Structure 1
């Protein structure tokens, strides 16, 4: 019995240490948004050892697609399993992964054209400061990356275009990068907004090829870009047009076309490549 009394505390101490070194996923966290006038949900992945260590970590903001919410990458993307494996085999460096919800109230990652729904402002002014104060996240451009699929791939592209000073790398996957002509854009929105300057400014900020024309090229080049889209994906053309434009403008980027379609099978295969790519920007050279 005496030996048992000695061994039991050691067993529980060892068991607790093992638990502390496992990764954790919380998929129903909330942040209060004054900008949107509601609580917003987000999910977070904490790497193995987070609860055991005192170190700070780089961060990847991982955006879901249309129809999903902050649980998409957790449930269908299997982010915990894939990240755990990548960190264990050394192909990626341990990082915190933040997955916001952009499918409550209105769907999408941008402010609307009347600036009445300001999701992009919420992301940069409320969500990002909140999570980076709640978790041990390194708050420097070098240690901050963004990626996402479909609608979230579009969010990734435009967020990095709008705020290149914040992200070291951006990885749009099967990105929604439709390049609507300005006349077609006018037909859709001129009944809502009469101010032609406002319409033009919104168009320039949310049209993929125009962003390459109106933004500072050197700032765009300060972001490491990785595009990945399936050869059977209906968004293939928009991604290809951005690739061609970047190539002509000599903007360094990686562009991958693999066998696959617009589905979770494809994106689960993309995620290890994303983790490895963003890790390269986090490393000291």
Structure 2
């Protein structure tokens, strides 16, 4: 049959989703997270795995990537087909309904030192509790929208921590009038200001030679739909990287700022991470 489409359906062991939590002294509360463990995690108990920190978008939580992005399905299919290696994927909770008074964001801001929590508490917790290959060459980060910008800035500010970044529809910056409307919610104003202060584009433009050299040690990938509301800032980031002589892959496909795009992007992200582990 001409132009037939075939789908790999996993027939062996499957990966496993676990929802867990840890108390944070820095944030003063307990934070949940969702972690995907490889299909052979319980079988080969002596094996350690590379890890991807997968960040969610604003108004979402640690559950979104697994319910709407179907991370487990994508992982099982790509491992079965040999296009991706087994890895651990973990998503922290940095959000929720901000209009209901819930904090959002991956950066330190007044009342919400999330970046400190991530690097001082969350990452060490994950890599001590689970069998992670806890070195830079087997640790990657990615995310969508707020999480795409967060993953980019985390790698910029901590270049010795990650080997690769995959930023989807990434919130790379906000101009003076940008951002979601506050509707009287102070936390939204604080969030918008934090994104302006942590502009991924300005970071590249202002980087000195030493910083640029550090950025060149990371593999960068930006993936954004041509109808996405963040398309222009993602292209601007890519151009800034080119002007700075920092290699960065760019993928533009038909699509907008939605789960259909991010779900399909994950089929590219997992093989990309696999190719860069151990490099």
C-alpha distance in structure 1 between counterparts of 2:199 and 2:15, whole Å: 38
The CA deviation string for residues 64-97 of structure 1, in whole angstroms up to 9 with x for no partner, is 1112101001100000000111111111111000
Unmatched 5+ residue regions in structure 2? 1-10, 97-101, 180-185, 187-193
Report the Cα offset of residue 178 of structure 1. Answer: 2.3
TM-score (norm 2): 0.84
**Count of aligned pairs between the two proteins:** 248
* 2:272 paired with 1:277: yes
Unmatched 5+ residue regions in structure 1? 1-17, 186-191, 193-201
Report the Cα offset of residue 208 of structure 1. Answer: 2.1
**Corresponding position of 1:48:** 39
Q: Is the 8 A contact 1:228 1:270 kept in 2?
A: yes
* 2:54 paired with 1:62: yes
Moved over 4 A (4+): 202-205
Q: Is the 8 A contact 1:145 1:168 kept in 2?
A: yes
Of the three residues 105, 109, 112, the one matched with 1:108 is 105
Secondary structure at the counterpart of residue 84 of structure 1: helix
Of the three residues 218, 238, 241, the one matched with 2:213 is 218
Report the Cα offset of residue 44 of structure 1. Answer: 0.3
C-alpha distance in structure 1 between counterparts of 2:221 and 2:77, whole Å: 21
Secondary structure at the counterpart of residue 17 of structure 2: strand
Secondary structure at the counterpart of residue 103 of structure 1: coil
Q: Which has the higher helix share?
A: 1
C-alpha distance in structure 2 between counterparts of 1:178 and 1:33, whole Å: 28
**Corresponding position of 2:86:** 94
Report the Cα offset of residue 258 of structure 1. Answer: 0.5
C-alpha distance in structure 2 between counterparts of 1:62 and 1:184, whole Å: 25
TM-score (norm 1): 0.82
The CA deviation string for residues 98-149 of structure 1, in whole angstroms up to 9 with x for no partner, is 011111540111111x3x3101110010000001000000111000000100
* 2:24 paired with 1:29: no
Report the Cα offset of residue 55 of structure 1. Answer: 0.5
RMSD, matched Cα? 2.2
Secondary structure at the counterpart of residue 53 of structure 2: strand
**Corresponding position of 1:143:** 138
Change in CA separation of 1:84 and 1:144 when aligned onto 2, cut-off 3 Å: same
The CA deviation string for residues 43-74 of structure 1, in whole angstroms up to 9 with x for no partner, is 00001110110200000000111121010011
